[in-house]
Amino acid sequence: MIMSTGYSEHTQSHDSRIFVARDPRFLILAFCLIVIFTFIIPDVMGLVMTLLYVVVLHRAVGLSLGTLAKNAKNISGFVLLIIVVNAALVRGEPLTSLVPFLSKEGVYGGVFYSIRLLVLYFAVTVFLATTSPEGIASGLAALIRPFSARLAHRAAFFGFLSIGYLPLFAGEISRIQTAQRFRGGGLDGGPIRKLNGARLLLVPLFLSAIHRSAQLAMVVELRKIKSTIIPLLRLERASRNDYGFVLLTLVVLIIAWKIT
Contacts of 231 (CB under 8 A, 6+ apart): none
How many Å apart are CA 58 and CA 64, to the nearest integer? 8
Task: Report domain extents, the chain.
Answer: 23-131+236-260, 134-223
How many Å apart are CA 153 and CA 137, to the nearest integer? 9
Residue 204's pLDDT is 76
Asked whether the predicted pLDDT for residue 181 surpasses 60, the reply is: yes
Question: At 49, is the pLDDT very low, low, confident or very high (cuts 50, 70, 90)?
Answer: very high
Residue 5's pLDDT is 43
Residue 176's pLDDT is 74
How many Å apart are CA 2 and CA 83, to the nearest integer? 21
Dump pLDDT digits (tens) for 141-151.
778 878 877 77
DSSP label of 6: S
Asked whether the predicted pLDDT for residue 178 surpasses 80, the reply is: no
Whether the CB-CB separation of 3 and 125 falls below 8 Å is answered with yes
Whether the CB-CB separation of 9 and 167 falls below 8 Å is answered with yes
Asked whether the predicted pLDDT for residue 44 surpasses 80, the reply is: yes
Angle subtended at Cα 216 by Cα 210 and Cα 222, rounded to the nearest 5 degrees: 140
Whole-model pTM: value is 0.71
Question: At 186, is the pLDDT very low, low, confident or very high (cuts 50, 70, 90)?
Answer: low
How many Å apart are CA 142 and CA 136, to the nearest integer? 10
Question: What is the average per-residue pLDDT within 229-240?
Answer: 66
Residue 188's pLDDT is 61
How many Å apart are CA 54 and CA 74, to the nearest integer? 17
Dump pLDDT digits (tens) for 74-104.
788 788 888 888 888 888 888 777 777 888 8
How many C-beta neighbours within 10 Å does residue 181 have?
A: 13
Dump pLDDT digits (tens) for 192-212.
666 666 667 777 777 777 776
Asked whether the predicted pLDDT for residue 10 surpasses 50, the reply is: no
Annotate 48-63 with DSSP letters as a single string: HHHHHHHHHHHHHTT-
Distances (CA, A) of 122 to 73, 154, 230: 12, 27, 30
Question: At 249, is the pLDDT very low, low, confident or very high (cuts 50, 70, 90)?
Answer: very high
Average per-residue pLDDT for the chain: 76
